[in-house]
Amino acid sequence: MATFLQALSFWDWLALGTVLLILEVFGAGGYLLWIGLAAACVGVLAFLLPGLPGEAQVLLFGLVSVLTALYWWYRQRRVIRTSDQPTLNLRGQELIGKTFVVHQAIANGRGRIKVADGVWIAKGADAPVGARVRVIGQEGSILLVENLD
């Protein structure tokens, strides 16, 4: 092992960094990016400091890997992600405030309304088929409606 560490050159680190970055391109989800950059940094340092022992290179690689990963984690936590579509994939929330037609009469507080090409269970005041209702809320997969007619 000691012979291997003494024989490490900057080419080894640059090759490792390149391989890790190529693997990252194939979909590692960011995990290999920082380790690949750390290997490339150690390769550059090994080129600039030719007398750097192999043990120090490996130690430096571990340290830079951890530091770059922590930097990215800290940076990601500071970014506030706001969406221009906060109800995306919350279909019931997207429907609040919109008007629809009763598909199956709302009787005893329950019925069905036609929404685009689907039918949703509706809960609200009794309404006949064809009446217009507005969605005012949601309870799970049930839409709360108010009668407009």
- Asked if residues 34 and 21 have their Cβ atoms less than 8 Å apart, the reply is no
Question: How high does pLDDT run on average in the chain?
Answer: 87
Q: How many domains does the chain have?
A: 2
Comparing CA positions, the residue from 6, 30, 32, 4 lying closest to residue 18 is: 32
Measured CA distances, 98 to 6, 103, 131, 137 (Å): 71, 15, 14, 10
* CA–CA dist 23, 8 (Å, integer): 22
Confidence of residue 4 (pLDDT cuts 50, 70, 90): low
Q: Decide if pLDDT at 113 tops 70.
A: yes
Average pLDDT over residues 25-29: 80
Confidence of residue 78 (pLDDT cuts 50, 70, 90): confident
How much is the pTM? 0.52
Using one digit for the tens of pLDDT, what is the confidence trace for 63-77? 999 998 898 888 888
The larger pLDDT score, comparing residue 77 to residue 105, is at 105
Percent of the chain residues past pLDDT 70, beyond the cut? 93
Split at pLDDT 50, 70, 90, the class of 3 is: low
68 and 108: one domain?
Answer: no
Band the pLDDT of 52: cuts 50, 70, 90: confident
**With contact defined as beta carbons under 8 Å apart, do 78 and 123 qualify?**
no
Are residue 57 and residue 17 in the same domain, yes or no?
yes
Judgement on whether residues 113 and 55 belong to the same structural domain of the protein: no
- What CATH number is associated with residue 95? 2.40.50.140
Helix (H, G, I), strand (E, B) or coil at 143: strand
- Same domain for 105 and 67, yes or no, is no
pLDDT digits (tens, 9 = 90+) for 115-148: 988 899 999 999 999 999 999 999 988 999 999 8
